[in-house]
Structure 1
Amino acid sequence: MNKRLFLSAPHMSGNELKYIEKVFESNYIAPLGEYVNKFEESIVNYTSTENALAVTSGTAAIHLALRVLGVGKEDDVLASTFTFIGSVNAILYQGANPVFIDSDKKSWNLCPNLLKEYLKTTKKMPKALIITHLYGMSADIQKISNICKEYGIYLIEDAAESLGATFKDKHTGTFGDFGIYSFNGNKILTTSGGGMLVSSNKDWIEKAKFYSTQAKENYIHYEHKEYGYNYRMSNVLAAIGVAQMEVIEDRVFKKREIFSWYKEYLIDVEEITLMPELENSRGNRWLTALTFEKTDPHKIVGALEEINVESRPLWKPMHMQKLFEHNKVFVDGTSEELFKKGLCVASSTCMTNEDVKIICDIIIKNLG
């Protein structure tokens, strides 16, 4: 291929520059402003959450959620082990201890049964759980939410990859005490960098907003009783976000269509299994992910690179990372097996059916 096909390239709606020009005309390009408010409103309206806060990244949003919920030094915080490290770094920021729970095979997301088993047997009750909706696909979130309520632990949904995904017609990110979305450069929508914190609890969002703006007290001068962060999104990036939100359903439709093309060309290949979708859910299929029974995924990565197509292995589980070698884990081998056998393939919304066919032909040619 002449053009490089990325895993998930940015895809503009066409209105981004128009809204950015309005920001520049107003000369209000610093954090906060009209488009920050509009971006937050667009997330509220789309997901049916009650409150939203635009921040600098998904990780910043998780950090704020943990701070507001009072997670601190030596607290245990449960987390999906099969995830990107951004989901758990904020736990370390608070001096707390990540405890990793494994996935199940029916969703590849955190296993509710393992979660329940851990909570039944642990001598130290965790303060919170951060659940990742992997590759845009919903976890068994209603069951997980019910378990958290039963044991009195806070639930933070890392929906960084799953904006537009639903479980029983309810958006991921809106089941927990907090939810977060990411608008990093490769997400289904992008503001180049940015995140959103959502919650039904207005007081919590107001407290998060306070922390995100350096914890400045309500005085004309700069008065501080607590420490805070510089975590608020700029008006410029929010303008991009407003334009991106205008096409969110188009992007979900195209991502799912790309997955359907992969499925069409690979469904009869015995060695390949595509990432499942839970009944009563709609994933956004941010990345099409699959596993091989015998073939080394790195062999496929190399073959696709030869035709200028990006791919990458599935996430290396957090409990396998040296950083977390001394942390508590509750695993059964599922995520380790997925990492060993799995691959994400190019899923950019600019792709055509012919692009997917060429990729699948290369994959099939290099099996074994």
Structure 2
Amino acid sequence: MSQKFIPLSVPNLKGKELEYVTQAIETEWVSTGGPYINDFESKIASYVKSKGAVSCQNGTAGLHIALDVCEVTSKDEVIVPTLTFIAAVNPVKYIGAEPIFMDCDDSLNMDSTKLREFCEDQCTFFEGKLINNLTKKHIKAIVVVHVFGNMADMEAIMDIAKKYNLKVIEDATEAIGTYYLSGNYKGRFAGTIGDMGVYSFNGNKIMTTGGGGMIVSNNLDYLDRAKHLSTQAKSDELYYTHDEIGYNYRMTNLQAALGLAQIEKLEDFIQTKKENYEFYKEKFEEIPGLKMMNFKENIRPNYWFYALYIEDDYSINRDQVIKYLASKKVQSRPIWGLISEQKPYAGSQVHKIEKAKEYLNHIVNIPCSSNLSKEDAEYVVQCFKRPEVI
């Protein structure tokens, strides 16, 4: 009997998804209106302890709206990470602003030390604005990504933001369920610390609505404006009066029905992913040349993606690992290509990109679905014990 295919990250739909979606279909509320949308927004806000939530089509749309709400314009610049998925940065260009790329630290998140250094040494703070000495433009915001469900150094980042009057938008698209266990933000969830946060429910996320996203904030005015923008900036529902350019960014009732079933199981998903991560970590410690990247000790991560570091003394390199695993019907992937090196961002300003280049060449993501069985995880580990060059 041939080995079955083990995917990287797929949905877990073993709750009440079919029941809720069927109800949505039977009541014929399937589009961007319907009770499930409001219910889902309320459940997300309650879960992450934010003052409210606004649903949207996907995480990218949420980031676009958040930048707009934070009044980032085409005259401004935004500090962003280079080590992330490109969807975290593209909305900066949607607005017409320019990104400035920052390196990562050993958690794979934005390096807060280099961020502070850049603001202190490469910028001037004048009349409440952080001005880039190179371009003379106003740096208005930071987009912080919580990579793979880890948490960026939000204490340091928020201190920097307050000092230099910067808005902070948290790209928590990979990190719903992650929160601090200690420190100034003890009990605070990823996405709820900055001015606005955004979650994604794409098919490969820890919980999914097929597509879809959610904007959260503790500023009710920001949330009201986010909802206004996401619904075509309609100021009069009856007479279709629009007071500015808006977006068709609302989530559908069908998606929200899925989301309600998923959030009911989210803590179970996190527990399973934690157990599988710890299993991998223990087993890979026994194989020279391999190590699992750690999650921070002062957080409860959601363990969304597992990052395996392929050391130089391992028998095969990153690309060979990916090809070999594919031959064994195990899906894996390299970490994203650095955004600052992508064609659309050629010529963008960067600041000391060093560690990101190292991790780019050494990290492989391995199967991490919340329905990954122990037998499948063991098979993945066994593949690494005697790898072959393909």
The answer for the alignment partner of 1:114 in structure 2 is 114
8 Å contact from structure 1 (residues 5, 348) kept in 2 = no
The answer for the alignment partner of 1:266 in structure 2 is 284
The answer for the alignment partner of 1:161 in structure 2 is 174
* Aligned residue among 142, 151, 154 for 2:155: 142
1:93 aligns with 2:94: yes
Pairwise CA distance, 1:219 = 5.3
Q: What do the CA deviations read for 1:319-348 (whole angstroms, capped 9, x no partner)?
A: 121221210111241001000111000111
The answer for the alignment partner of 1:17 in structure 2 is 18
The answer for the alignment partner of 1:305 in structure 2 is 326
Structure 1 CA distance, aligned partners of 2:238 and 2:47? 36
Which residues of 2 match residues 300-339 of structure 1 at below 5 A? 300-339=321-360
Secondary structure in structure 2 of the residue aligned to 1:366 = coil
206 and 265 in structure 1: CA distance in 2 versus 1, 3 angstrom threshold: same
1:358 aligns with 2:374: no
After superposition, the CA RMSD in angstroms is 1.4
Contiguous gaps of at least 5 residues in structure 2: 124-131, 133-137, 182-186
Secondary structure in structure 1 of the residue aligned to 2:100 = strand
8 Å contact from structure 2 (residues 281, 291) kept in 1 = no
**Letter paired with 1:145:** M
1:179 aligns with 2:180: no
8 Å contact from structure 1 (residues 138, 282) kept in 2 = no
Secondary structure in structure 1 of the residue aligned to 2:304 = coil
Percent identity reads 37
8 Å contact from structure 1 (residues 100, 329) kept in 2 = yes
1:83 aligns with 2:84: yes
Structure 1 CA distance, aligned partners of 2:165 and 2:99? 18
8 Å contact from structure 2 (residues 203, 211) kept in 1 = yes
Structure 2 CA distance, aligned partners of 1:24 and 1:362? 44
The answer for the alignment partner of 1:237 in structure 2 is 255
Structure 2 CA distance, aligned partners of 1:355 and 1:332? 37
Pairwise CA distance, 1:268 = 2.8
Which residues of 2 match residues 184-195 of structure 1 at below 5 A? 184-195=202-213
Secondary structure in structure 2 of the residue aligned to 1:286 = coil
The answer for the alignment partner of 1:251 in structure 2 is 269
Secondary structure in structure 1 of the residue aligned to 2:31 = coil
The answer for the alignment partner of 2:215 in structure 1 is 197
Structure 2 CA distance, aligned partners of 1:150 and 1:250? 39
8 Å contact from structure 1 (residues 142, 175) kept in 2 = no
Q: What do the CA deviations read for 1:235-278 (whole angstroms, capped 9, x no partner)?
A: 11100000000000001111111111111210133422321222
Secondary structure in structure 1 of the residue aligned to 2:159 = helix
**Letter paired with 2:359:** L
TM-score normalised according to structure 1 size: 0.97
Structure 2 CA distance, aligned partners of 1:27 and 1:366? 53
196 and 219 in structure 1: CA distance in 2 versus 1, 3 angstrom threshold: closer
Secondary structure in structure 1 of the residue aligned to 2:236 = coil
8 Å contact from structure 1 (residues 75, 96) kept in 2 = yes
Aligned length: 367
TM-score normalised according to structure 2 size: 0.91
The answer for the alignment partner of 1:56 in structure 2 is 57
User: Which one is further off, 318-327 or 121-130?
Assistant: 121-130
8 Å contact from structure 1 (residues 40, 54) kept in 2 = yes
The answer for the alignment partner of 2:129 in structure 1 is none
Which residues of 2 match residues 208-227 of structure 1 at below 5 A? 208-218=226-236, 220-227=238-245
8 Å contact from structure 1 (residues 299, 366) kept in 2 = no
8 Å contact from structure 1 (residues 180, 195) kept in 2 = yes
Structure 2 CA distance, aligned partners of 1:13 and 1:38? 20
Pairwise CA distance, 1:32 = 2.5
Contiguous gaps of at least 5 residues in structure 1: none
The answer for the alignment partner of 1:345 in structure 2 is 366
Structure 1 CA distance, aligned partners of 2:327 and 2:288? 25
Structure 2 CA distance, aligned partners of 1:204 and 1:252? 30
Pairwise CA distance, 1:114 = 0.5
Pairwise CA distance, 1:287 = 1.1
**Letter paired with 2:56:** V
Secondary structure in structure 2 of the residue aligned to 1:304 = helix
Structure 1 CA distance, aligned partners of 2:353 and 2:319? 24
Pairwise CA distance, 1:223 = 1.5
Structure 1 CA distance, aligned partners of 2:92 and 2:267? 32
Secondary structure in structure 2 of the residue aligned to 1:365 = coil
Pairwise CA distance, 1:170 = 1.7
